[in-house]
A and B are shown apart, each in its own frame.
Chain A
Amino acid sequence: MAGRALKRLMTEYKQLTLNPPEGIIAGPTNEENFFEWEALIMGPEGTCFECGVFPAKLIFPPDYPLSPPKMQFTCEMFHPNIYPDGRVCISILHAPGDDPMGYESSAERWSPVQSVEKILLSVVSMLAEPNDESSANVDAAKMWRDDRDQFNRIAERLVRKTLNLPYP
Chain B
Amino acid sequence: MPAPMPVGALTMASFALTAAVIGNAYYQKKQFYPSVVYITKSNPSMAAIYLLAFTMVILLGKLLKKVFFGALRAAEFEHLIERSFYAVTETCLAFTVFRDDFSPKFVALFTVLLFLKTFHWLADYRVDFMERSPVITLLFHVRVTCLLLLLSLLDLVLVNHAYHSTITRGASVQLVFGFEYAILLTVALNIGVKYVCHTVDLQSENPWENKAMYLLYTELCMGFVKVVLYAVFMIIMIRIHTFPLFIIRPMYLTMRSFKRALNDVILSRRAIRNMNTLYPDATPEELRAVDNVCIICREEMLTGAKKLPCGHIFHASCLRSWFQRQQTCPTCRMDILRQPPPAQGGAAGAAAAARNAQQPPTPPAQPQTPQPQQQQRQAQQQMPNPFAGLFAGMPMPVGPPPVGLPPFPFPPMPMHQAQQQQAAAASASASTTEAGTSSSTTTTSTSTSSSASSTGQAGGAIPTAPFNMLPPLFPLLPFNIPPPPPPLNFAAMTEDEVRQLEGNERQHVEARIKVLRNIQTLLDAAVVQMNQYASVVASLDMNSQSIPRNATPQQAGATESASAPEPSSSQAAEPMVGAAADRANSRDPDSLKEATSVTSNDEAARSEVTSSTSVAASPSSLSSTTTTSASADTSTPDELHPDSPQEIRRRRLERFTQNT
Chain A contact residues, CB within 8 Å of chain B: 1-8, 11-12, 15, 32-36, 59-60, 62-63, 65-67, 95-96, 105-107, 111-113, 115
Contact = CB atoms under 8 A, between A and B. Distances in A.
B459 interface: no
B131 A5 contact: yes
B295 interface: yes
B206 A1 contact: yes
A1 B321 contact: no
Contacts of B133: 2, 6, 32-33
A112 B322 contact: yes
B299 A5 contact: no
Nearest to B203: A1
B365 interface: no
B318 A112 contact: yes
Nearest to B315: A4
Nearest to B129: A62
A106 B333 contact: yes
B298 interface: yes
Given A1-B206, A62-B129, 20 more contacts: A2-B202, A3-B201, A6-B132, A6-B133, A8-B298, A8-B299, A34-B134, A62-B128, A63-B321, A65-B297, A65-B318, A66-B322, A106-B333, A111-B330, A111-B331, A112-B295, A113-B295, A113-B296, A113-B330, A115-B298
Contact of A35 (B132, B295, B325): B132
Contacts of A112: 295-296, 318, 322, 330
A5 B132 contact: yes
B205 A1 contact: yes
Nearest to A109: B333
B481 to A, nearest CB: 44
B357 interface: no
A103 to B, nearest CB: 15
A88 to B, nearest CB: 18
A3 B379 contact: no
Contact of B298 (A1, A12, A35, A95): A12
B326 interface: yes
Contact of B299 (A7, A34, A63): A7
Contact of B132 (A12, A34, A111): A34
Nearest to B329: A111
Contacts of A2: 133-134, 202
Q: Which 10 A-B pairs have the closest CB atoms?
A: A3-B131, A112-B296, A11-B298, A62-B131, A111-B330, A112-B330, A35-B132, A113-B295, A66-B325, A113-B330
A60 to B, nearest CB: 8
Given A1-B206, A4-B207, A66 B134 contact: no
Interface in B100-138: 128-134
A111 B299 contact: no
14 contacts: A2-B202, A4-B321, A7-B297, A7-B299, A11-B297, A11-B298, A36-B75, A65-B297, A66-B322, A67-B325, A107-B378, A107-B379, A112-B330, A113-B331
A161 to B, nearest CB: 25
A128 to B, nearest CB: 15
Nearest to B294: A112
B18 interface: no
B204 interface: yes
A65 B128 CA distance: 16
Interface string B552-563: 000000000000
A63 B205 CA distance: 19
B351 to A, nearest CB: 22
B297 A8 contact: yes
Interface string B389-415: 000000000000000000000000000
A105 B205 CA distance: 39
A59 B75 CA distance: 10
A1 B381 contact: no
Interface string B297-316: 11100000000000000000
Contacts of B321: 4, 63, 66
A106 B381 CA distance: 12
B176 to A, nearest CB: 33
Contacts of B328: 96, 106, 111
A105 B379 contact: yes
Contacts of B128: 62
A12 B326 CA distance: 23
A148 B296 CA distance: 41
A16 to B, nearest CB: 12
Contacts of A62: 128-129, 131-132
Given A12-B298, A65-B296, A3 B132 contact: yes
